[in-house]
Structure 1
Amino acid sequence: MISFHAADRQLTLKNRTLLKEVVTRIFKHEKQRLQQLSYIFCSDEYLLQINRDFLQHDYYTDIITFGLSGKGAPIEGEVYISTDRVKDNAINEGTTYTAEMLRVIFHGALHLCGYKDKTKAEQQLMRSKEEEYIKAFQDLNRKS
């Protein structure tokens, strides 16, 4: 159902089983049916090329989410994450790599659940949801 893959970078994050559990919870809590979700970890350059090829954007980004299922069907998706951007964002935001990686992983799942982040209000709601699931992950991690 949920898988992690390396394009040209590895995910350096412990507790992958717990991480999958929280991502699964996101879909259940948001009342969405999840069929298949693949996270692909890559470099800035790898994700820049995807951004150019598929979205016609010529800039670096930390995440690109592709929904692959038809309307009304269980969700299938691919989430590409630049570990380079996540590391830089963590430094710029004054947070840890782990916290920033969790935020981005949950961000991709939330996009597939229908959340957007174009307007200020959408961004605030998205950030609130990210924080909710980061806290859930941290709480479960402490208990295990």
Structure 2
Amino acid sequence: MIEFNSTNDFELSNPEELLQWLTSVIEAEQKQMGEINYIFCDDAYLHKLNVEYLNHDTLTDVISFDYTSGDVISGDIYISVERVEDNAADFKTSFKDELSRVMVHGLLHYCGYKDKSEDEAKEMRAKENLYLSVR
């Protein structure tokens, strides 16, 4: 089950469409859906999590807490709406497209993809682009 939550007044304009798309990504990756929570927040909220849990004193757009067991993917994906807005402007893309990229990025971590090395990041970006092309 995928749930969308918010710590602020942010609301998705198309939750059913996103739910179907994210479910199709899970199926394409040959995984099973567990409990996945998307939590939309602001920079301050996500920065606090980044410092507290990851010891990173930086702003970020997404943090994924992975509770996956075997092929059943589960976890909490925190997304800073402010960071997504700024990144969309910086990358000259729409908010919708940047939000979708961040959402699928978190999900792909649960499917086993990493992005620490250059090669891993390249593979992650290719997967993001693949799934964004069918959104």
Calculate the TM-score normalised by the size of structure 1: 0.88
What SS class does the counterpart of residue 39 from structure 2 fall into? Answer: strand
Q: Which residue of 1 aligns with 2:87?
A: 89
**Alpha carbons of 1:130 and 1:73: their partners in 2 closer, same or farther (altered >3 Å)?**
closer
CA deviation after TM superposition for structure 1 residue 69, in Å:
3.6
Q: Which residue of 2 aligns with 1:8?
A: 8
Please say if residues 64 and 75 of structure 2, whose CA atoms lie closer than 8 Å, have aligned partners that are also in contact.
yes
Q: Which residue of 1 aligns with 2:47?
A: 48
Please, which runs of 5 or more residues in structure 1 have no aligned partner? 138-144
For residues 126-141 of structure 1, the aligned pairs below 5 Å read: 126-137=124-135
Q: Which residue of 2 aligns with 1:59?
A: 58
Matched, 1:75 2:78: no
CA deviation after TM superposition for structure 1 residue 130, in Å:
0.9
Please, which runs of 5 or more residues in structure 2 have no aligned partner? none
Q: Which residue of 2 aligns with 1:26?
A: 25
CA deviation after TM superposition for structure 1 residue 9, in Å:
4.4
How many residues of Structure 1 are paired with residues of Structure 2 in the alignment?
135
Please say if residues 68 and 110 of structure 2, whose CA atoms lie closer than 8 Å, have aligned partners that are also in contact.
no
**Runs of 4+ residues deviating >4 angstroms:** none
Please say if residues 41 and 81 of structure 1, whose CA atoms lie closer than 8 Å, have aligned partners that are also in contact.
yes
Query: % of aligned pairs identical?
Result: 40
**Alpha carbons of 1:129 and 1:105: their partners in 2 closer, same or farther (altered >3 Å)?**
same
Distance, in Å, in 2 between the alignment partners of 1:26 and 1:42 is 24
Q: Deviations over 1:66-88 (max 9, x none)?
A: 11244x26221000000000001
Aligned Cα root-mean-square deviation (Å): 1.3
Distance, in Å, in 1 between the alignment partners of 2:113 and 2:37 is 18
Matched, 1:39 2:24: no
